[in-house]
Amino acid sequence: MSGRSPGDDPKIRGPRDNTRISLSEPYEVQAWCQKLGVTERQLRDAVAAVGPLAANVARHLGKRL
């Protein structure tokens, strides 16, 4: 075993935690933009406005998860 958790696997290219939006990894930003149907700027602005909880961001953007 390599000591890595599944969330650390660099081959996984989607959000590691589907309840929180992380803006630190480009592939996570891209995945959330696709999931919510928004641009990166819209996603970043929404996270800045309401925090990283995905449900709050989706609600702020008028989207459903």
pLDDT tens string 30-56: 999 999 999 999 999 999 999 999 999
Q: Is residue 14 part of a domain?
A: no
Q: Is residue 11 part of a domain?
A: no
Beta bridge partner(s), residue 53: 20
Q: Which secondary-structure segment (H or E) carries 42?
A: helix 40-50
Question: Does the pLDDT at position 5 exceed 80?
Answer: no
Q: Is residue 57 part of a domain?
A: yes
Q: Is residue 52 part of a domain?
A: yes
pLDDT at site 35:
96
SS3 category, 53? strand
Can you give the residue range of the structural domain that contains 36? 19-61
pLDDT at site 17:
78
Average pLDDT, the chain: 85
Question: Does the pLDDT at position 24 exceed 80?
Answer: yes
Q: Is residue 41 part of a domain?
A: yes
pLDDT at site 13:
57
Q: Is residue 50 part of a domain?
A: yes
Number of domains in the chain: 1
